[in-house]
């Protein structure tokens, strides 16, 4: 122990004066000794490494699974979007058809309405009638049916 | 000892040599792959692991002036089949297809196609809307039959069917505009296709998440907004089609233009075609007659002659004209459409009664070159400037080469060929107080970002003085008066200026006039004292005794009334001045 203490002391000296290592070491009568066996415990280290590895692995698996699932979901949603787009096109075409002048005219004629060929206007500011209003009569109209 | 040592050494050497050889081969191959063919192999690897798909740019829509869709693009499908798989149950598949696709396919024809021997690919139906095609495919799959496939495509649809078909035009099989606005604005309507490249699993083909992907952005086509009013267009289409049928005409045209802006608000043609279901697509139906068909306009041209004279101060509406009973010019006898002796008509009377002889007498105050220059100023013999493809120049012979007969007949619209749009532009100048502008059918284009680019209107130019235009307008008002040639064109409460036309038809084969065949027309604008709309009706080859006043004027009345009503143009309330027709 005293040897160790003196070695430690000489080391401190060496540290304080590194240039004088060989001389001071010899002067101190030092010799090589076997390195001190570390008695650090292995278990915590192994546990930490294993934990890191397994968490990483599980994380990787989970992430990969989630991404795959999301990829399938994205494909499904793409298909659904295409489907809905087609449906939307179908419906807007139906709306176009229903609000087309031909369809409106056909329905109006079916209700007994006739186009007005004598335009006249009512001016709201003074209530004056502009033009010569004339009732549109069923027999007196130019479009009796709608040709497709 | 020494022998075995030698053997093992030799063995060692042989082994070494073999190993060097093998590694040498490996090395050489490695050098070839890594050093020489590196890029080719890298490309192959990329190809196996990536997928490139085109992102088709949708074609822009064509809209009316209020934004209603006149032409639009939807998802379409082409149905194909592998006859080696379908021949066994061809009738069942054909029945399902016929049920779901209707008249798009023929039942027996489809059976034949599905049984095509020694074939692995046939087309069953093209241009099928995606929703219809999907229904058919689902039904076939439900019946446990295979061998029918589909290919995606873009389908152009025209929700109005025949509505303004000749103006809108149509696209060919590859989606390129080949007529009308579709052709003229093809570049604007067509977008730029994008591409999307991404890494895929070589085995499943599924996209690898988070992997590299490159995307070239797709730029959708721009929407084109026309100046057409859809409802007015429909009404004009109907009214004109009825008139063409009733008068047994070969074809008819109706054009309405806003005289202030020169925007065409409707342009109808009958008979026409349906670009939506591709019916009636014959050459005579798909030609855009308004700009491509030349014909002799007849008496409507008298308005231009009178405007030229009035601009030179050589005529007023009450100028007295002695109208002879007939004229022989260059051995060519010219008369009026009614028999008469010598008449004392005013210039307004000449227009109101549509006297050829009166017009000739008046026009003789102009030399060939002066009259020719005025006709050129009014735009005859030149394109109208409207943005539509295939426009014709019309035919106006150079004034230097005019004979006396040419001068006489051109004054009343024979011996000169025009397009309807040229005629509309010229009389539009009279309606627009002497200033002529170029007709337009498109007002703006809009990109996917909603940014609008206006199509600039070309500046108008003065052709005749304001007074000359007013003088001719007064003469034209006499036409729709009860004693004019077209009282049927009068609209109650409004002042309407107009002019009838009944021109002899030229036989395109012989270049000669055909007796008894006419092109009848009516050109008019309202309100005469503050013109807003001009409408031109042309009916070609109606029944033999049809005239502009009796056949075309009623169509003008109805379409013009509808235009005035739809655009809220109220009557001005003023009364037409009384103009003497005789003296």
Binary contact (A101, B163; C-beta < 8 A): yes
In a domain, B397, yes or no: yes
Q: Could you tell me if B213 and B259 lie in one domain?
A: no
Which residues are within 8 A (CB) of B202 and not within 5 positions of it... i.e. 6 or more apart?
A: B48, B49
Least Cα distance to B232 among B466, B64, B416 occurs for B64
Q: Could you tell me if B300 and B426 lie in one domain?
A: yes
Binary contact (A147, B242; C-beta < 8 A): yes
In a domain, B355, yes or no: yes
Q: Name the token pair of B321.
A: 């004209």
Strands B461-462 and B452-454, sheet pairing: unpaired
Binary contact (B557, A85; C-beta < 8 A): no
Say yes or no: B130 contacts chain A, CB-CB below 8 A. yes
Interface test with B, best of A71, A89, A113 (most B CBs within 10 A): A89
Which residues are within 8 A (CB) of B14 and not within 5 positions of it... i.e. 6 or more apart?
A: none
- DSSP structure string for B14-66: HHHHHHHHHHHHHHHHHIIIIIISHHHHHHHHHHHHEEEEEEPPPPPPEE-TT
A30-34: average pLDDT? 80
In a domain, B21, yes or no: no
- Rounded CA-CA distance B503/B498 in Å is 16
Q: Who among A75, A89, A119 is closest to B564 (CB)? A: A119
- Cβ atoms of A39 and A53 within 8 Å: the answer is no
Q: Who among A67, A97, A102 is closest to B209 (CB)? A: A67
Q: Who among A68, A97, A132 is closest to B159 (CB)? A: A97
In a domain, B116, yes or no: yes
In a domain, B583, yes or no: no
Which residues are within 8 A (CB) of A99 and not within 5 positions of it... i.e. 6 or more apart?
A: none
pLDDT over 60 at A7, yes or no:
no
Binary contact (A147, B238; C-beta < 8 A): yes
Query: Domain count of chain B?
Result: 2
Binary contact (B571, A146; C-beta < 8 A): no
What is the 3 state secondary structure string of A63-82?
A: HHHHHHHHHHHHHHHHHHHH
Beta strands in B304-462 (DSSP E): 320-323, 327-329, 332-334, 343-346, 435-436, 442-446, 452-454, 461-462
Nearest CA in chain A to B279: A148
Say yes or no: B575 contacts chain A, CB-CB below 8 A. no
In a domain, B580, yes or no: no
Nearest CA in chain B to A131: B493
Nearest CA of chain A to the CA of B311: how many Å? 33
What pLDDT score was predicted for residue B404? 93
Each residue's pLDDT tens digit, A63-80:
999 988 998 898 899 889
The interface pTM score, or ipTM, of the predicted complex is 0.73
Binary contact (B129, A90; C-beta < 8 A): yes
Nearest CA of chain A to the CA of B200: how many Å? 11
What pLDDT score was predicted for residue B4? 74
Nearest CA of chain A to the CA of B554: how many Å? 9
What pLDDT score was predicted for residue A139? 60
- Rounded CA-CA distance B116/B112 in Å is 6
Q: Which residues pair with B148 in a beta bridge?
A: B81
What pLDDT score was predicted for residue A12? 55
Q: Could you tell me if B190 and B318 lie in one domain?
A: no
Residues of B with CB below 8 A from A72's CB? Answer: 206
Last residue of a domain, one of B226, B249, B269: B226
Which range marks the domain in which residue B189 is found? 55-226
pLDDT over 50 at A20, yes or no:
no
Q: Could you tell me if B341 and B202 lie in one domain?
A: no
Q: Who among A93, A101, A120 is closest to B230 (CB)? A: A101
Each residue's pLDDT tens digit, B433-470:
999 999 999 999 999 888 999 988 888 999 999 999 99
Q: Who among A72, A74, A86 is closest to B75 (CB)? A: A86
CATH number of the domain residue B460 falls in = 3.40.710.10
Interface test with A, best of B129, B237, B238 (most A CBs within 10 A): B238
Residues of B with CB below 8 A from A90's CB? Answer: 129, 131
- DSSP structure string for B320-343: EEEE-S-EEETTEEE--SS--SSE
Which residues are within 8 A (CB) of B130 and not within 5 positions of it... i.e. 6 or more apart?
A: A86, A89, B74, B75, B76, B77, B152, B155
- Residue B380 neighbours by CB distance under 10 Å: 25
CATH number of the domain residue B167 falls in = 3.90.1310.10
Q: Could you tell me if B222 and B278 lie in one domain?
A: no
Binary contact (A100, B242; C-beta < 8 A): no
Q: Whats the size of chain A, residue-wise?
A: 148
Nearest CA of chain B to the CA of A111: how many Å? 18
- Rounded CA-CA distance B382/A7 in Å is 116
Binary contact (B207, A123; C-beta < 8 A): no
In a domain, B453, yes or no: yes
Nearest CA in chain A to B237: A147
Least Cα distance to B487 among B532, B550, B547, B542 occurs for B550
In a domain, B282, yes or no: yes
Least Cα distance to B534 among B502, B573, B569, B492 occurs for B569
Q: Name the token pair of B114.
A: 């599905």
- Rounded CA-CA distance A62/A60 in Å is 5
With vertex at residue B348, the alpha carbon angle to CA B343 and CA B351, rounded to the nearest 5 degrees, is 80
Say yes or no: B9 contacts chain A, CB-CB below 8 A. no
Residues of A with CB below 8 A from B235's CB? Answer: 101, 115, 143
Q: Could you tell me if B325 and B421 lie in one domain?
A: yes
What pLDDT score was predicted for residue B210? 63
**Low pLDDT (below 50) residues in chain B:** none
- Rounded CA-CA distance B366/B358 in Å is 14
Q: How far apart are the first and last CA of chain B?
A: 153
- Rounded CA-CA distance B256/B247 in Å is 21
Q: How far apart are the first and last CA of chain A?
A: 116
Q: Could you tell me if B61 and B198 lie in one domain?
A: yes
Q: Could you tell me if B98 and B112 lie in one domain?
A: yes
Name the region of A77 (left: φ>0; alpha: ψ -120 to 50; beta: rest): alpha
């Amino acid at each position: 122990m005293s040897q160790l203490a003196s070695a430690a002391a000489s080391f401190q000296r060496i540290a304080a004066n590194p240039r004088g290592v060989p001389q001071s070491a010899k002067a101190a009568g030092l010799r090589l000794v076997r390195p001190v066996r570390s008695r650090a415990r292995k278990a915590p280290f192994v546990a930490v490494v294993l934990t890191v590895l397994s968490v990483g692995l599980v994380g990787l698996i989970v992430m990969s699974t989630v991404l795959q699932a999301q990829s399938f979901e994205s494909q499904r949603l793409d298909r659904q979007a295409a489907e809905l787009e087609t449906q939307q096109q179908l419906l807007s075409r139906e709306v176009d058809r229903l609000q087309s002048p031909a369809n409106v005219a056909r329905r109006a004629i079916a209700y007994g309405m006739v186009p007005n060929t004598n335009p006249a206007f009512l001016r709201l500011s003074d209530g004056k009638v502009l033009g010569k209003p004339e009732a549109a009569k069923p027999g007196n109209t130019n479009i009796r049916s709608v040709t497709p | 000892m020494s022998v075995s040592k030698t053997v093992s050494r030799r063995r060692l050497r042989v082994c070494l040599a073999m190993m060097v050889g093998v590694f040498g081969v490996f090395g050489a191959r490695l050098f070839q792959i890594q050093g020489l063919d590196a890029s080719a192999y890298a490309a192959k690897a990329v190809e196996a692991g990536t997928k490139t798909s085109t992102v088709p740019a949708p074609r822009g829509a064509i809209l009316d002036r209020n934004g209603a869709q006149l032409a639009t693009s939807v998802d379409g499908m082409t149905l194909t089949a592998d006859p080696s798989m379908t021949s066994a149950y061809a009738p069942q598949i054909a029945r399902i297809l016929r049920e779901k696709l209707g008249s798009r396919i023929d039942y027996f024809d489809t059976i034949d196609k599905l049984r095509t021997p020694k074939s692995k690919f046939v087309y069953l139906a093209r241009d099928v809307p995606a929703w219809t095609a999907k229904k058919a495919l689902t039904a076939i799959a439900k019946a446990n039959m295979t061998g029918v496939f589909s290919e995606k495509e873009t389908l152009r649809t025209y929700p109005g069917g025949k509505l303004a078909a000749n103006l809108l035009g149509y696209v060919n099989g590859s989606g390129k505009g080949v007529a009308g606005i579709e052709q003229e604005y093809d570049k604007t309507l067509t977008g730029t296709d994008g591409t999307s490249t991404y890494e895929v699993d070589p085995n499943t083909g599924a996209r690898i998440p988070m992997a590299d992907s490159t995307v070239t952005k797709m730029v959708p086509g721009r929407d084109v907004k026309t100046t057409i009013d859809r409802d007015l267009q429909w009404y004009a289409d109907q009214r004109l089609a009825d008139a063409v049928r009733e008068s047994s005409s070969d074809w008819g045209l109706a054009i309405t233009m806003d005289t202030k802006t020169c925007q065409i608000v409707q342009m109808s043609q009958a008979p026409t075609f349906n670009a939506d279901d591709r019916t009636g697509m014959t050459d005579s139906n798909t030609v855009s007659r308004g700009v491509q068909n030349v014909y002799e306009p007849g008496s409507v041209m008298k308005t231009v002659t009178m405007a030229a004279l009035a601009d030179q101060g050589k005529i007023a509406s009450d100028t007295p004209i002695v109208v002879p009973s007939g004229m022989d010019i260059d051995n060519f006898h010219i008369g009026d459409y009614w028999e008469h002796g010598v008449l004392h008509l005013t210039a307004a009377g000449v227009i109101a009664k549509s006297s050829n002889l009166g017009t000739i007498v008046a026009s003789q105050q102009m030399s060939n070159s002066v009259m020719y220059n005025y006709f050129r100023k009014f735009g005859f013999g030149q394109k109208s400037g409207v943005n539509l493809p295939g426009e014709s120049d019309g035919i106006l012979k150079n004034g230097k080469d005019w004979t006396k007969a040419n001068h006489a007949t051109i004054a009343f619209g024979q011996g000169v060929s025009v397009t309807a749009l040229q005629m509309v532009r010229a009389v539009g100048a009279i309606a627009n107080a002497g200033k002529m502008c170029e007709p337009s059918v498109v007002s703006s284009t809009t990109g996917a970002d909603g940014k609008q680019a206006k199509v600039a209107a070309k500046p108008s130019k003065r052709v005749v003085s304001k007074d000359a235009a007013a003088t001719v307008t007064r003469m034209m008002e006499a036409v729709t008066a009860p004693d004019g040639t077209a009282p049927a064109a009068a609209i109650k409460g409004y002042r309407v200026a107009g002019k009838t036309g009944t021109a002899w038809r030229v036989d395109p084969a012989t270049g000669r006039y055909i007796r008894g065949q006419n092109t009848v027309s009516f050109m008019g604008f309202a309100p005469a004292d503050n013109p807003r709309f001009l409408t031109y009706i042309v009916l070609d080859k109606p029944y033999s005794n049809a005239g502009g006043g009796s056949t075309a004027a009623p169509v003008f009345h109805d379409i013009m009334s509808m235009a005035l009503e739809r655009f809220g143009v109220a009557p001005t309330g003023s009364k037409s001045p009384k103009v003497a027709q005789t003296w």
